[in-house]
Amino acid sequence: MPVDFTQPTQISSKLACPICASPLSLIYNTRRCSNAHSFDVAKEGYINLLLPQHKASRDPGDSKSMVLARQHFHDNEFYKPLTGAITQHLAVDSSLADLGCGEGSYGRWLLESAPSLDYYGIDISRHGIRCAAKSLSKATWLVASNWHLPLLDGVFDTALTIFAPIDQSELRRIVKAQGHWINVTPGSNHLAELRECLYDTVADIDKQAAFEHWQAVDTQRVTGTMNLLQTDIGNLTNMTPYAWQADRDRLLALQSRDSMIVTYDFVVTLFSKSTQSDNHSPYR
Ligand SMILES: C[S@@+](CC[C@H](N)C(=O)[O-])C[C@H]1O[C@@H](n2cnc3c(N)ncnc32)[C@H](O)[C@@H]1O
Ligand SMILES: [Zn+2]
């Protein structure tokens, strides 16, 4: 649930201490576990539960400039059509952990169409989470790594990953026994026009995979075209790895175009958590 500073004490049923894994209670503006480990709630309303030993660098995840580029790109809502393909899988009053949530636009869109959702946005980038918390207080925002989720076992109805890195054992741990995982990955045509400008050969980026312990129960493709202006092209290229991977001259040529029609292509896969016995073939 969102942080409520007017309540002296709240027991959260979902947050776990990143040091000892026991539940974290909210006491005024501090989260504290029974072993007296404590974590302040930032003035923007998010909590930093990322331990120094779980960082690979001083400032992990998306940089401030990538976060700003993504925020400005999402302001024009080009990717908002994806929201419907996600909310159709969410039950009323259910809980959702958006792992690698970025700067919060998807959280805002999801809560617009599913207001009773108990939404948790988690990202390793403090810039992303700070931006998200500033723009939406009706959510729980955590700075944390998907490899060490400060979340209790089996407490989420659904986990969501949109173009985000995943640790399978942590993902499985936090989702309820009958819960689901929605994984959004790029389809083969995603940003094809941009990639054609930047690279000699355009690789197939649609890498659908099967995952142990999860059964794919539904797959949908969300595709369309965007009429991008120069600022949108700049933001889009700056929020993706293209900004540092692509040839500099090609990137600058692309970024100086006045406008461009670009395809988005998302693959939305709904997985249900399968028990060990579900994985046994009936023919064995
Ligand atoms: C491609 S962005 C996608 C952001 C958001 N889901 C969206 O689609 O707008 C990938 C996100 O994963 C975050 N990230 C990278 N490594 C992470 C990790 N180990 N744990 C949590 N988040 C991570 C980055 O900071 C970034 O916000
Ligand atoms: Zn603790």
Residue nearest to atom 13 of ligand 1 (CA): 100
Mean pLDDT of 62-86: 97
Residue 181 maps to a domain: yes
Residue nearest to atom 27 of ligand 1 (CA): 102
Residue 171 maps to a domain: yes
Residue 114 maps to a domain: yes
Residue 35 maps to a domain: no
Domain of 244, in residue numbers? 45-275
Q: Residue 279 above 50 pLDDT?
A: no
Confidence of residue 11 (pLDDT cuts 50, 70, 90): low
Residue nearest to atom 16 of ligand 1 (CA): 61
Count of structural domains within the chain: 1
User: CATH number, domain at 202?
Assistant: 3.40.50.150
Q: Of 199, 203, 200, which Cα lies nearest the Cα of 188?
A: 203
Ligand nearest to the CA of 266: 1
Residue 234 maps to a domain: yes
Residue 3 maps to a domain: no
Confidence of residue 27 (pLDDT cuts 50, 70, 90): confident
In terms of DSSP bridges, do strands 38-40 and 30-32 run parallel, antiparallel, or are they unpaired? antiparallel
Q: Residue 64 above 60 pLDDT?
A: yes
Q: Is 69 exposed, middle or buried (0-12, 13-18, 19+ CB in 10 A)?
A: buried
For residue 32, the CA-to-ligand 2 centroid distance in Å is 7
Residue 10 maps to a domain: no
Check residue 122 and give its pLDDT: 98
Mean pLDDT over the full length of the chain: 91
What are the tokens at 260? 């461009």
For residue 14, the CA-to-ligand 2 centroid distance in Å is 14
Q: What pLDDT, in 10s, does the model give residues 175-216?
A: 999 999 999 999 999 999 999 999 988 777 777 788 889 999
Q: Residue 283 above 50 pLDDT?
A: no
Q: Which residue has the higher pLDDT, 249 or 8?
A: 249
Contacts of 71-76 with CB under 8 Å at 24 or more apart are 71/103, 71/105, 71/131, 72/231, 72/235, 73/232, 73/235, 73/236, 73/239, 74/103, 74/105, 75/105, 76/232
Ligand nearest to the CA of 142: 1
Residue type, position 85, single letter: A
Confidence of residue 121 (pLDDT cuts 50, 70, 90): very high
Residues 263 and 191 sit within 8 Å (Cβ to Cβ) = yes
Confidence of residue 10 (pLDDT cuts 50, 70, 90): low
Q: What SS3 state is found at 19?
A: coil
Confidence of residue 17 (pLDDT cuts 50, 70, 90): very high
Worst-scoring range by mean pLDDT, 7-21, 65-79, 168-182, 263-277? 7-21
Residue type, position 270, single letter: L
Residues 104 and 123 sit within 8 Å (Cβ to Cβ) = no
Residue 12 maps to a domain: no
Ligand 1 pocket list (CB less than 6 A): 61-62, 70, 100-102, 106, 123-125, 128, 145-147, 162-165
